[in-house]
Amino acid sequence: MLDHRPDEEFAKSLDGEDPLRGFRERFCIPAAPDGQPVVYFCGNSLGLLPAEGRRLAQEELDAWAEFGVDGHFKGRRPWYSYHEQFRDRGARLVGARPGEVVMMNSLTVNLHLMMVTFYRPTQQRYKVLIESPTFPSDLYAIETQIRHHGFDPADALVTLQPREGEHHIHTADVEGLLEDHGDQIALALLAGVNFNTGQVLDMPRIADVARREGCVFGLDLAHAVGNVPLSLHDWGIDFAVWCNYKYLNSGPGAIGGCFVHERHGKNLDLPRFAGWWGNDPATRFEMHRRLDFIPQAGADGWQISNPPILSAAPLLASLALFDEAGMEALRSKSIKLTGYLEYLLDGIEGRRFEIITPRDPAARGCQLSILVHDDPRGLYKTLRDENIVVDFREPNVIRIAPVPLYNTFHEVWRFAEVLANRSEPRP
């Protein structure tokens, strides 16, 4: 841990030493009413627009205008093979092999498609392990899948809870639950990084136990991808799904991502919901002449429809930035940003909040969550009035996400100053 100081000049000195500082200029940062950039700590909800993403989206609009339907096979990036551009870069980002990653649909749609294949309950093994709090959309999808198979979520859902008085999940508790009830659990479906607390689960360790107990292990990586290093192939994860509009800065409602381990991708007999874009490209356009569905090998075989090009274009710009910066460098800066933020928050006298994100830097991503004990809505309004964009979660959690690609140490200092001023004793 660095020796920190609470003064503004120290924050500026950290920015001067930051090897990634040039990336900030390549993003479109919203302006406050005075024309100055806002402090944008909401990349865990919606990442900022890479300037190159705007150009690439316009390029596809121009191709549409110039070629019409022929744009599927003409132009700089023909639409027919557009999704193939993400294979290698997407695989590198999550520690996968080429062919294990496909960009398609949205997170929840992909979760449904994965559960069609990987949640195959029997009368003995039908339960689904989740953690609390679970992101609501995941919970809705899981509950409807359970009901679809004729089971009752009240019985079939096994929920990991933090220990009393705590906010985090203990890996030992996950292991114990899997070892005690693994013969009934068909699927363990956990978030790699919890959306509320920012806790990073020990994904490889949990995967080992789930595999030993015969449970399928899937991950929701919405808050993990582009945030923490991942090695999905080597960890032996069965499947994973994620959105690309948070840390991957690909725009509202952006195309999502999906990982299927190659041991499953090679099995063309696995049950799945089929659509023409998952079909073997050699016969995809034979249409009515070939009525049988022959899936592609790999994650591509779970595609349903052709990709939304205008939604996918900004992802090209974002993945190029991640390739250029490198996850190792991004993770290093992330740890420094949250460490500095933690130091400043701990130094606020009379603070009426507590940090509920793990103190261990290895157990958190680029997010600190604070539980506000006094007038949480008022604090949130104060921050917004000071042109600091954060995320509020009912009833009293504020999530702060200093993103290493475009946030600065000085912004962290400004945020802490606002909290310190509000925490001063009232007359």
Q: The domain spanning residue 172 has which CATH number?
A: 3.40.640.10
Q: Evaluate whether residue 124 is within a structural domain.
A: yes
Backbone φ and ψ of 82, nearest 5°: -55, -45
The Cα 390–Cα 411 span in angstroms is: 12
Tally of structural domains, the chain: 2
Q: Do residues 339 and 257 share a domain?
A: no
Q: Do residues 191 and 303 share a domain?
A: yes
Runs of H (alpha helix) within 17-170: 51-67, 87-94, 107-118, 136-148, 153-156
Q: Do residues 258 and 305 share a domain?
A: yes
Residue 231 in tokens: 């090695």
User: What is the domain extent for residue 396?
Assistant: 8-18+326-423
Q: Do residues 240 and 374 share a domain?
A: no
Query: Which pLDDT belongs to residue 336?
Result: 97
Q: Evaluate whether residue 284 is within a structural domain.
A: yes
Residue in 141, 107, 134 with CA at minimum distance from that of residue 245: 107
Q: Do residues 285 and 359 share a domain?
A: no
Q: Do residues 331 and 313 share a domain?
A: no
Beta bridge partners of 129: 158, 188
Q: Do residues 357 and 404 share a domain?
A: yes
Query: Which pLDDT belongs to residue 288?
Result: 66
Query: Which pLDDT belongs to residue 423?
Result: 67
**Domain stop point among 280, 300, 323:** 323
Question: Which are the contacts of 224, defined by CB distance < 8 A and separation ≥ 6?
Answer: 191, 192, 193, 200, 230, 242, 365
Secondary structure letter of residue 224 according to DSSP: T
Q: Do residues 339 and 247 share a domain?
A: no
Mean pLDDT by 10 residues, the chain (427 residues): 85 97 98 96 98 97 97 95 94 96 97 98 97 94 98 96 95 94 96 97 97 97 98 98 97 96 96 90 72 88 94 96 97 98 95 95 97 95 97 96 98 96 62
